[in-house]
A and B are shown apart, each in its own frame.
Chain A
Amino acid sequence: MSDTVETTEIADDRKYRSLWGDVWVQFRHHRGAMIGTVVFFTILIAVAIGPWLWTIDPGYANIRVRNQGMSLAHPFGTDQLGRDMLAQVLQGGRVSIAVGLTAMAIALLLGTLIGVLAGYFRWLDGPLMRLTDLFLALPLLPLLLVIIMLFRDTLRGMFGPETGIFILIVFIIGVTSWMQTARIVRGDVLALKEREFILAANSIGTPSKRVILRHIMPNILSPIMVSATLGIATAIITESALSFLGLGFPSDFPTWGRLLFDGTQYISQAPSRVIWPGLAISLTVLSVNFIGDGLRDALDPRIRGR
């Protein structure tokens, strides 16, 4: 009876391991994730404190130096009104990243909540999934136009022009991009709840709420992580599209998407106008994807320690 125990006797006197300690150790071993983390935090710090270090006002137009390439005075060049691109990219990054993270958080929260409820509670499955189908079938752009037309002025009145439009955009992007997450999560929950460890939890008498939190959520982390990282990218790009249509932030208020779209007309004269904001978006999205990848691996005990 004690044979198995003795044969697996390995001399390790490791202290009590905490879950997050293990996760961090494994995360550090994931090279892509570490590079992603460094890049992402560099971008975050740059846009957070950059505007104080690079003190040129992003809105200051000097028509004599318009459409310039890279130079010492304007490292990223200037636009057609002679505004400094570096200052605009730094300023725009604040908004874009804020929009990306917040909208992703909203979409993820909604998607996970709806997916888990639909997957776990049979009687909610039909109604919630039909709701998801409904949202998927909605033509997004016309809907966005209508919502923005209806609510822009009231929100502007309540929170000021910039905060108002920020809330509106974040909310709209969040509310219209949770469906994929919900579907994936529902599928995973459906498969998971037939597993015997859920039955074991039921036989212990664990209430549904804690079954979901303790047994379901940790096991559906991978799809949620993937959705999250992709969601940030989609949110940044959707915000760009809205700004491009003139429905996002005001035109003198730079965001990465706005800069990119403004620059497309001048792509042959001043390619740097497209390259820098494009690079910023790509790097952010890519680094977040790598972080998500690493986090997913680190959170899976079967991969951990390999």
Chain B
Amino acid sequence: MLDENKPRKKPLVQVKNLKMHFPIYRGILKRQVGAIKAVDGISFDIFEGETLGLVGESGCGKSTVGRCVLRLYEVTDGSIDINGTDIATLSGVELRAKRPEMQMIFQDPQASLNPRMTVGSIISEPLDEHMIMTRDEKRERVGELMDAVGLARRFADRYPHEFSGGQRQRIGIARALALNPKFIVCDEPIAALDVSIQAQVVNLLEDLQQKFGLTYLFISHDLSMVRHLATRVAVMYLGRLVELGDAETLYMTPRHPYTQALLSAVPHPDPAQAGNIERIILKGDVPSPANPPPGCTFSTRCPRAQAKCKQDSPKWREIGEGHFAACHFIE
């Protein structure tokens, strides 16, 4: 969606070898017997002003990546550079000072707003925490933010339950914008919304990106929406990235067998042509992230899998300009 001849900007977010393993405790003594490898060594960059779409099926670790990138979880390993600071190792006080630069928009607008707080106080919470402002300045700022997301200012004294889903999501967006962040993680912000409202919220996100120069990590399982919104797209399977590239390139010529299968599942808007699409149906289920298969994690379901795939983990390598994939058989 951005013009292509614009030179590549410097990366705002650099994630290197990110790992998030949730320990499993069993037995009376609560010994650690294993770990859910929700995110298992992924690396990607997000450039300033772009939208990186992160797609994958349920349970592949998309949301965990989003939360790790904002360090809402203590990551097991790896580094997360945001604007030149590695936030994976920051101490409490330094991290708190860094928080205004990075914010999050949540999936469920109902659950992400405290039911006992008015909209005004929800939106001004970041201001209370990080800004020294008088009451009137805060009210004015809350008003500006509500204007920016398309909510009438007089709703400030109402409670979240009095709003519709789309309006609640706008409240969440206003809260995320309050501190003028550079980077926003959108964790499936449209998944819980009605289709007609989805478009409104996505348009709002696009408008805000242009207006404030925001950088998004857009997590979603809605492939069409990601294609519309994202500059580049990363595809995730079982805690690892399998392919990353420019949205158009990736959608037109997917290289990794998983991406091909995933994209073939997108419904075609024209029913007359819908029959012509060759669907790639994967066999079997996603293996448990507590016990991922050796070698390539996709080898258990890959139509192209060979003996090598079950032993060697494929390297994450550049296969075209800015196009990365992890598969042994891509030239």
Which A residues fall within an 8 A CB radius of B?
A: 1-5, 8-9, 12-14, 16-17, 19, 195-197, 199-207, 210, 214-215, 218-219, 299-302
Contacts and interface: CB of A to CB of B under 8 A. Distances in A.
B111 A205 contact: no
Interface stretch (B34-42, B159-167, B253-261): B159-167
Contacts of A19: 118
Given A19-B118, A204-B130, A218-B116, 10 more contacts: A5-B150, A5-B151, A8-B167, A197-B113, A197-B114, A204-B129, A205-B100, A205-B129, A218-B114, A301-B159
A1 B104 contact: no
Given A196-B108, A204-B99, A1 B204 contact: yes
Contacts of B203: 1
Interface residues of B, number: 42
Contacts of A196: 106-108, 111-112
Contacts of B200: 1, 3-4
A8 B70 CA distance: 35
Contacts of B118: 19
Contacts of B154: 12-13
Given A2-B150, A200-B112, A302 B103 contact: no
B222 interface: no
Interface in B40-60: none
B132 interface: no
B126 interface: yes
B172 to A, nearest CB: 8
A199 B116 contact: no
22 contacts: A4-B166, A5-B150, A195-B111, A196-B108, A196-B112, A197-B113, A199-B67, A199-B106, A199-B112, A200-B113, A203-B99, A203-B102, A203-B104, A204-B99, A204-B126, A205-B95, A207-B96, A215-B114, A219-B116, A299-B116, A300-B116, A302-B159
B81 interface: no
B177 to A, nearest CB: 12
Interface in B125-179: 125-126, 129-130, 150-152, 154, 157, 159, 161, 164, 166-167, 172, 175, 179
A201 B125 contact: yes
A201 B129 CA distance: 10
Nearest to A9: B152
Contacts of A14: 157
A1 B198 CA distance: 11
Nearest to B130: A205
B152 A5 contact: yes
Contacts of A302: 115, 159, 161
Contact of B167 (A4, A202, A204): A4
